[in-house]
C-alpha cells in the first residue's frame, strides 16, 4: 500500500485484538478509511466492512481493498496489468505538472502514468475493476516517487527509487469476507455516519492541521483523471484551497467530533486519536461518554517517516529539526448498555 501520514499499520494488531474482544461484531463502519489498511485487515479477519472517505483516492482504495472481491476481479486484473505494463509512455498532464513543473516523478515515469491512466479510462471498466487498476497505478507511482512520504514537497535530489521504471503489480485484493460483501462510499463523515449502520464504528479522523487532500493531491488527480488548475511549487490542485475538512481546524474540530459521535449508528465505537491532536484526552473522553462508558488504551510509537528525517521546504531542502520523534496513539473504546462489561475486560496489551 502507499506511504501514508497517519497510517495505522503498526496499530492494526491492537485494533483487531480490541474488535475481536467485543461481542456480536460482524459489520464494521470505517468512517475515515484513508488507505484502507484497517478496513483491509478487518475484511481479512472476516468482518463485513462499510468504508467511507470523502477524498476520491481514498474511496478508490476502499473500493479495491474493501468492496472488490478477489474471485470477481483477479483474472481481469492480471490480464490488464500485463497489457498496461507493455504500453509506451505518452506525456500528458501528469508529466507536465508533476515532472516538469514539479519533481515528484522522473519524466519517463510521468509519461507512463499518463498513458496508463488514459488506457484505464478508455476501457469503460466496471467500478470495482477500474478501482483495482487505479490502485495498481498509484501504488506503482508511489514506488518511484521522490518525496519523504507526503506531497507537500519533493526532494531536492532524486530519491534512488525514482530512477526505477514504473511497473504495475496486482494489488492484494481479498476474497469476500465471512460476514458479507463490503462497501466503499465517498461521503462526508457525518453524512456517512447518519446513513450507514453496523455493529461497530471505527473512527480515525484527522486530528490537527495536516490535510490529507493537500498531502496526497497527486493521487487525487491521478484517480480522478482530470487536469485541474495547479498552484505553488508542489503544483497542488486548486480545490485544495476549497475542500477543507473541519477536523483540520482547531476552532471547528470539537463541534465536528461531537456531531459525528452523535450521528454514529452503531452501539460500539473504537476511536483512534493521537496526543498531537487538537482535542485533549479529557475533551475526547467527555464527548464519547455521551454514548456510554469509555476505556482508553495508549500505545507509544515512532512518528511518521518525514518527522524522523527532518523538516523540508517546498523545494525539498532540509530547513529544520523536529521537536520529538515519538508520540502516543490512543484507542478509545465506548459502548452502550450490555457492552460495558466487555469493554472493561479488554486487556491493556
pLDDT digit string, tens, across residues 187-232: 999 999 999 999 999 999 987 788 899 999 999 999 999 999 999 9
Q: d(Cα 113, Cα 110) in Å, to the nearest integer?
A: 5
Residue 321: predicted pLDDT: 57
Residue ranges in the chain assigned as alpha helix (H): 12-20, 37-44, 56-62, 70-85, 93-95, 107-123, 127-142, 189-195, 212-215, 217-224, 253-263, 281-288, 305-309, 340-344
User: Are 47 and 27 a contacting pair, CB within 8 Å?
Assistant: yes
Place of cell 466503499: 184
Residue 93 and residue 107 in contact, taking contact as beta carbons nearer than 8 Å: no
* 3-state DSSP assignment of residue 95: helix
Strands in 294-302's sheet, in edge-to-edge order, are: 183-185, 48-52, 27-30, 200-203, 268-274, 326-335, 294-302
Please give the grid coordinates belonging to residue 246: 473541519
326 pLDDT exceeds 60?
A: no
For the ranges 31-40, 59-68, 87-96, 272-281, which has the lowest average pLDDT? 272-281
pLDDT on residue 308: 46
β-pair partners for 297:
331
Which is more confident, 308 or 252? 252
Whether residue 305 has pLDDT greater than 60: no
Query: Any idea what DSSP says for residue 150?
Result: S
pLDDT at 324 over 80: no
Number of Cβ within a 10 Å radius of residue 349: 6
Q: Determine how β-strand 200-203 pairs with β-strand 27-30.
A: parallel
Looking at the DSSP assignment, which residues form a beta bridge with residue 231?
236
Asked whether 200 and 28 are in contact (CB, 8 A), the reply is yes
Give the confidence band of 85 by pLDDT, cuts at 50, 70, 90. Answer: very high
Spatial distance between the Cα atoms of 43 and 172, rounded to a whole number of angstroms: 12
**DSSP annotation string for 231-276:** ETTTTEEGGGGT---GGG-TTTHHHHHHHHHHH-B-SEEEEEEETT
CA distance 73 to 79: 10
Residue 309: pLDDT band by 50, 70, 90 thresholds?
very low
- Collect all residues with Cβ–Cβ distance below 8 Å to 336 and sequence separation of at least 6: 267, 268, 291, 292
Residues in Cβ contact with 179 at an 8 Å cutoff, skipping those fewer than 6 apart: 26, 27, 46, 47, 48
* Size of the chain, expressed as the number of residues it contains: 349
Ranges 38-52, 276-290, 325-339: which has the least confidence: 325-339
Amino acid at each position: 500500500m502507499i506511504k501514508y501520514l497517519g497510517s495505522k499499520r503498526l496499530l492494526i494488531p491492537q485494533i483487531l485484538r480490541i474488535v475481536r474482544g467485543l461481542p456480536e461484531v460482524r459489520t464494521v463502519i470505517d468512517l475515515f478509511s484513508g488507505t484502507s489498511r484497517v478496513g483491509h485487515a478487518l475484511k481479512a479477519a472476516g468482518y463485513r466492512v462499510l468504508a467511507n472517505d470523502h477524498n476520491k483516492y481514498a474511496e478508490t482504495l476502499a473500493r479495491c481493498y474493501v468492496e472488490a472481491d478477489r474471485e470477481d476481479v483477479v483474472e481481469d486484473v492480471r490480464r490488464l496489468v500485463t497489457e498496461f505494463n507493455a504500453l509506451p509512455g505518452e506525456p500528458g498532464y501528469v508529466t507536465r505538472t508533476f515532472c516538469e513543473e514539479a519533481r515528484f516523478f522522473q519524466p519517463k515515469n510521468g509519461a507512463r502514468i499518463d498513458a496508463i491512466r488514459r488506457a484505464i479510462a478508455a476501457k469503460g471498466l466496471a467500478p470495482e475493476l477500474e478501482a483495482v487498476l487505479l490502485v495498481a497505478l498509484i501504488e506503482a507511482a508511489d514506488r518511484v516517487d521522490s518525496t519523504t512520504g507526503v506531497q507537500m514537497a519533493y526532494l531536492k535530489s532524486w530519491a534512488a527509487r525514482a530512477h526505477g521504471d514504473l511497473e504495475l503489480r496486482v494489488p492484494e485484493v481479498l476474497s469476500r469476507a465471512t460476514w458479507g460483501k463490503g462497501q466503499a462510499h465517498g461521503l462526508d463523515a457525518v453524512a456517512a455516519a447518519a446513513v450507514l449502520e453496523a455493529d461497530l464504528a471505527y473512527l480515525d479522523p484527522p486530528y490537527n492541521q495536516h490535510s490529507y487532500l493537500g498531502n496526497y493531491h497527486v493521487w487525487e488527480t491521478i484517480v480522478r483523471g482530470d487536469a485541474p488548475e495547479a498552484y505553488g511549487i508542489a503544483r497542488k490542485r486548486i480545490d485544495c484551497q476549497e475542500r477543507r475538512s473541519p477536523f483540520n481546524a482547531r476552532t471547528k474540530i470539537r463541534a465536528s467530533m461531537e456531531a459525528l459521535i452523535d450521528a454514529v449508528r452503531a452501539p460500539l465505537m473504537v476511536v483512534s486519536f493521537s496526543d498531537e491532536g487538537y482535542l485533549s484526552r479529557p475533551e475526547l473522553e467527555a464527548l464519547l461518554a455521551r454514548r456510554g462508558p469509555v476505556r482508553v488504551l495508549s500505545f507509544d510509537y515512532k512518528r511518521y517517516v518525514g518527522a524522523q528525517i527532518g523538516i523540508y521546504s517546498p523545494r525539498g531542502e532540509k530547513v529544520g529539526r523536529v521537536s520529538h520523534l515519538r508520540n502516543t496513539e490512543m484507542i478509545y473504546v465506548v459502548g452502550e448498555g450490555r457492552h460495558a462489561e466487555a469493554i472493561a475486560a479488554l486487556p491493556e496489551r
